[in-house]
Amino acid sequence: MNDLDNIPLDAVKGVGPARQKLFGRLGVRNVAEALRYLPRAYSDRREVTRIAEAQSDLPSLIVAEVVSVSLRMLSWRKSVLTVKVSDGTGDLYAAWFNQPYLKTRFAKGKPVALFGKITVGKDGRLQMASPEVELSPSATSPSPHLHRIVPIYPATEELSPNVIRTVMHRIVAQYADRVTEFLPSATRGSLRLLSLSEAIRNIHFPESLSLLEQARRRLIFQELFLLQCAAALRRKFVDAAVKDRPGEVRRPRDRADRFLSRLPFPLTSAQRRSIEEIQRDLASPHPMNRLVHGDVGCGKTIVAVWAVLRCISSGEQCALMAPTEILAGQHFSEISNLLNEDKCRTALLVGSSTGKDALRRQIARGDFDLVIGTHTLFQEGVRFRRLGLAIIDEQQRFGVAQRLRLYDKGDCPDLLVLSATPVPRTLCQTLYGDMDISVIDEMPPGRLPVQTERFSSSDLPAAYARLRETLCAGNRAYVVCPKVEEEASCERASAVETFRHLSRGVFSDMRVGLLYGTMPPLEKEEAIQRFRNAFLDILVTTTVIETGIDIPDAAAILITNGECFGLAQLHQMRGRVGRGGQQGYCLVVADPQTDAATERLRVFESTTDGFRIAIEDLRLRGVGEFFGTRQHGLPEVPAANIVEDPEMLQLARKEAFGVVKGDVPLSPSEKEALGAELQKTYGEKIRLGLV
């Protein structure tokens, strides 16, 4: 929206420093952000209801004359203001509590419009408590609040819906026509889409239900279109790149295949299929750009290790990037053991590593075949002698820009991306349109589905008793809390308090340990190793174990305050147990207070299928949060539309790839506008050269 990002909110009438600060807490700091702050719902207030025809417990718009005004003081701080109105068909009594200053707004005989829910009192009188009110109403010149389809914005105690609506009405009226159109005119014409200005006006203050739906369609399409443009540009960049490494096609695979033959278990057919797809990519003159995704525990690491051996056999280096130090350390330990017989020189480079300068020099000399680390791998000071393969684990934790920075560390290195967020193939091909897709849709043989049980907080003793059963059978267990330290204002269990409670009380006869993300690295590693080596029975922890912790003997997990976690988080944590072939158990203690939390827990209890979990999580959370980098475009794509309307995805993909290929004509100004929007949303305009 170009210059609108530079117009502060206090430039709008009615927004002073205090209100600007309150809007800032909602993420609205300028006019552009205000236009992106979309209503959560709408209230149809176009039809006036006669008092005699009003139905109890239904919201109604009443237009009538004031008959009487009465203010009664119940105490020195409490009062009730009652206004009797009549429209000739009946009387209605409107009441406001503890707002005596409203009395001056009403005058006998003056017209007034009221909107609220009508109830019937014990005396049979029609009543309306704390209705929205408009003095001197006019249906020909409707206010932001009545006589129209009214937007309902997310509000706070400090900012009422009416205040937000009034400010938004002024902003839309003044600035909607100043937004920059970035969709190509050919695309808008062929798909009959509203202009961006029309869409913004009608998403905030719709002229009709039909135009509201058209506005939604336009905004959903443009978000998907931008997503697909970014994918098409990345695809174009990769397809144009050529690997310049001698003997690329003749890379030996004997070493990698011998590694597979030594494994104590057979690969699944899905793992073998993924390996063959990677083999074809490695033999191609163009760099590999492949996503391997599947459910928690499906065996992606083995596939990645095969690719590592395949590359280092020809003298190339590999880099594996993980989102956390714990996961990077886990990979280092696990892969080092797997490659013990292959004499693979492996290094760990994370933020807390000692002797980082010496490590960087060794990496630059080529002393290590495989470097495992966190985001430190793409820092400026890290250089590789000959980076042939970059692997990114849990890719949804990284943004596109981070991925490209690691890619820049070599001369067109192959890129392998791993994700434990499975998505149905057709949807995945669209959302990851720049990548080739491998899906591991089988679990290793012998893996039993984890049994999931739910308890309310009042049943916590029963949950502990159930956990003790698994411990007494010789198993180990996690207890997961949503916080590290307790706060006086929060009732959520904290890891520290839970550790004290369990180690000194409920499980004082057991060996209980503590692990959380901000612990010193050495203490974290010690806690993990003590649990791994069976010196602990219970590990009290936070979501730090969500990804990467692989301790096969852990058979049970108890998740406290389950309503605080997302669906994917719950599934990832459940995936930490039952990995050694034994029956796994997941106990969730939760007291959901919202419909969304109730639905998350219902889905979680009903299935262990990661693909179904992913679809429901996408529906509940939205695309940006689901894929780890919430977009900054207008607006967040409604997930239900992606799941239920795949045709919109295909339309956006076709148009976006047509633009990048040059099949959809763009004027110079359209190129500039689209490039600017992509740069703002994805930061890729300059990197990939749309304009």
pLDDT in tens, 454-505: 999 999 999 999 999 999 988 899 999 987 665 544 445 688 899 999 999 9
Helices and strands, number each (H, E), in the chain: 24, 21
pLDDT band, residue 541 (cuts 50/70/90): very high
Most confident of 171-180, 423-432, 680-689: 171-180
What does the pLDDT read at residue 215? 94
- pLDDT over 90 at 590, yes or no: yes
Ramachandran angles phi, psi of 421, nearest 5°: -110, 90
Nearest to 569 by CA among 349, 359, 355, 420: 420
- pLDDT over 60 at 21, yes or no: yes
What does the pLDDT read at residue 490? 46
Ramachandran angles phi, psi of 131, nearest 5°: -75, 160
The amino acid present at 35, given as its one-letter code, is L
What does the pLDDT read at residue 687? 45
Q: What average pLDDT does the segment 14-31 reach?
A: 91
pLDDT band, residue 181 (cuts 50/70/90): very high
Query: How many C-beta atoms surround the C-beta of residue 253 within 10 A?
Result: 16
pLDDT band, residue 628 (cuts 50/70/90): very low
- Looking at per-residue pLDDT, the higher value among 243 and 71 belongs to 71
What does the pLDDT read at residue 683? 64
Please, what's the b/e burial string for 478-498 (b: 16 or more CB within 10 A of its CB; e: otherwise)?
bbbbbbbebeeeeeebbbbbb
Structure tokens at 570: 């719950």
What does the pLDDT read at residue 686? 42
Percent of the chain scoring above 90 in pLDDT = 42
Task: Kindly tell me the burial class for residue 276, based on how many C-beta atoms sit within 10 Å of its own C-beta (0-12, 13-18, 19 or more).
Answer: exposed
What does the pLDDT read at residue 34? 93
Q: What is the model's pTM?
A: 0.70
What does the pLDDT read at residue 431? 65
Most confident of 80-89, 291-300, 379-388: 80-89
What does the pLDDT read at residue 214? 95
- pLDDT over 60 at 346, yes or no: yes
What does the pLDDT read at residue 399? 53
Say which range, 201-210, 452-461, 542-551, has the weakest mean pLDDT.
542-551
Say which range, 193-207, 508-522, 608-622, has the weakest mean pLDDT.
608-622
- pLDDT over 70 at 2, yes or no: no
What does the pLDDT read at residue 88? 93
The C-alpha torsion from 497 through 499 and 500 to 502, rounded to 10°, is 120
- pLDDT over 80 at 447, yes or no: no
What does the pLDDT read at residue 302? 92
Contact 290, 402 (CB under 8 A): no
Measure the CA–CA gap between 278 and 303, rounded to whole angstroms.
9
Rg (CA), the chain: 30
- pLDDT over 50 at 587, yes or no: yes
Nearest to 544 by CA among 630, 613, 484, 454: 484
Nearest to 113 by CA among 45, 60, 62: 62
Q: What average pLDDT does the segment 543-549 reach?
A: 74
What does the pLDDT read at residue 248? 46
Between the CA of residue 392 and those of 174, 353, 419, what are the distances in Å? 46, 20, 9
Measure the CA–CA gap between 364 and 376, rounded to whole angstroms.
14
Say which range, 97-111, 284-298, 445-459, 641-655, has the weakest mean pLDDT.
641-655
Beta bridge partners of 541: 480, 515
Beta bridge partners of 70: 82
Q: Which residue is it, tokens 């993990």?
A: 528
What does the pLDDT read at residue 6? 87
What does the pLDDT read at residue 488? 40
Say which range, 204-213, 389-398, 445-454, 513-522, has the weakest mean pLDDT.
389-398
Whole-number average pLDDT of the chain:
85
Three-class secondary structure of residue 397 per DSSP = helix
Q: What average pLDDT does the segment 111-133 reach?
A: 91
Q: What average pLDDT does the segment 399-408 reach?
A: 62
Say which range, 334-343, 347-356, 428-437, has the weakest mean pLDDT.
428-437
Measure the CA–CA gap between 176 and 67, rounded to whole angstroms.
41
